[in-house]
Amino acid sequence: MYQKLIYRNDLRSLASQVEEKAKAVFSDIAKVVENNQAKVLAAFREAQVSDYHFASSTGYGHNDRGRDVIEHIYARVFEGEAALVRPHIVSGTHAIALVLFGVLRPGDELLYITGAPYDTLEEVIGIREEGRYGSLAEWGVTYDYVPLKDDRVDFETVAKKIKPSTKLIGIQRSSGYAWRPSYSIKEIEEMIAFIKKIKPELIVFVDNCYGEFTEEREPTAVGADLIVGSLIKNPGGGLAHSGGYIVGKADLVAQAACRLTAPGIGAEQGAMLGMNRHILQGFFLAPHVVGEALKGAVFAALLFEKLGLETLPKWNAKRTDIIQAFRLGTKERLISFCQSIQAASPVDSHVRPEPWAMPGYADPVIMAAGTFVQGASLELSADGPLREPYIGFLQGGLTYEHAKLAILLAVQTMMEKQLL
Ligand SMILES: *Cc1c(COP(=O)(O)O)cnc(C)c1O
């Protein structure tokens, strides 16, 4: 069946060469997976996870023991004092917004030091006109950012932009829809040390989306006060149906919790609606699934490099997230690539994605996600904003084998259409 699907002999032989060459990188990934799996297992044992933790709660969700255990495990594994892990957090953007609105007060300033933040945050912050209802700007919270300098944090400018009103520093670990490297834990450690040296009371939060389990530590282990992410990305392990997490200093997590629910309620309410088993089992699987996704990204990078496309990161670069970007150069290629990934998906393989004005994004975006959990991007997905130079982003893959097949099918289709 493999030969029937990937019928081009030249492409199959190229795939074999890629896998042969990538062996050493795959074995490095296996080591990270092993260590993270050990960390997760240790936390499950310590928390004495049991069948009754999977029971569903209703109403206010008081005494949801499973919820407490989930939050204990997240805090342990991600090395924070406390965690808020809820299916009621609708997305990564929502989780970040909870931190921003939870921590900042009128007159405070948010300073992003890793360039402009992820597209969807523009409306949260109030940079773009259209999303201003309830934005930080409307509440009198100001914002500034430090453009990158040669893809790196411009420390000199960061130091200049820290003012008395600066309260929260934003660091985005993953590149998002930008052609820049993602920042490793070691680099984030340097950023945080720099900030704390200037003004120790500054609060540093890291948008950790797509980064979880790609390295052996998370930013909280190197001084981040808060980290934030989405459960339909890495830590959900492909099983969480929805949700987000916030991990870090207990008082700051509590402030975000008061935003999610209400002051006085905080993290104490919130029926988990039957999600506990999925969230726990997903977190248990996450180190392995992230490893599968990483191997898929490495395979794609080396294959594309052999086909003459520019890739970021390079196939053998040290990775700190699951995203693989490649410069496709034309709109036709980007659309064809995403449509092919969709066609090679286990769900909705028969539908064809088209570019659309997705809420929160400034340019039309094409998104392929034939996923079991809608829009989940730890499952194999491909996307890209329709703007020059037509960069495609590929991420996820519940199994390496699926990622490999889908990437080969997409390349085969482009070859047949003379797009490659
Ligand atoms: C995915 C992502 C987000 C949040 O996106 P949602 O679609 O709202 O979950 C934020 N920052 C980065 C870097 C991301 O990759």
The CB of 266 under 6 Å from ligand 1? The reply is no
- Tell me, what's the pLDDT at 360? 66
pTM comes to 0.96
Q: What is the model's pLDDT at position 213? A: 98
* Strands of the sheet with 324-327, listed across from one edge: 310-312, 324-327, 391-395, 381-385, 365-368
Ligand 1 geometric centre to CA of 118 (Å): 7
Q: Which fold has domain 52-283?
A: Aspartate Aminotransferase; domain 2 (3.40.640)
Cα(205)–Cα(192) distance, rounded to whole angstroms? 10
Q: What is the mean pLDDT of residues 78-89?
A: 98
pLDDT at 127: 87
Kindly report, residue by residue over 22-62, the tens digit of the pLDDT.
999 999 999 999 999 999 999 999 999 999 999 999 999 99
Q: Which of 217, 189, 205 is nearest to 246 (CA)?
A: 205
* pLDDT for 363: 86
Q: Is the bond preceding 389 in cis, omega lying within 30 degrees of 0?
A: yes
Which residue's alpha carbon is nearest to atom 4 within ligand 1? 92
Specify the pLDDT at position 236. Answer: 98
Greatest CA span in the chain, whole angstroms? 65
pLDDT band with cut points at 50, 70 and 90 for residue 361 = confident
Tell me which CATH code domain 2-37+287-416 carries. 3.90.1150.60
Q: Which of 55-69, 212-226, 356-370 has the lowest mean pLDDT?
A: 356-370
Q: Are 281 and 239 in contact (CB under 8 A)?
A: yes
Q: Give, for ligand 1, the residue of 91, 94, 209 to mutate: max count of ligand atoms closer than 8 Å to Cβ.
A: 209
How far is it, in rounded angstroms, from Cα 152 to Cα 373? 35
**Closest residue CA from atom 14 of ligand 1:** 209
Res 358: pLDDT: 80
Of ligand 1's listed atoms, the one at least distance from the Cα of 174 is: 13
Q: What is the mean pLDDT of residues 231-237?
A: 98
Query: In this predicted structure, which of 3-12, 126-135, 175-184, 348-357 has the lowest mean pLDDT?
Result: 126-135
Over residues 108-162, the pLDDT tens digits come to 999 999 999 988 899 899 987 665 689 999 999 999 999 999 999 999 999 999 9
Query: Does 395 contact ligand 1 (Cβ within 6 A)?
Result: no
Give dist(CA 297, CA 325) in Å, integer. 9
Return the pLDDT at 120: 87
Q: What are the structural domain ranges in the chain?
A: 2-37+287-416, 52-283
Mean pLDDT across the chain, nearest whole number? Answer: 96
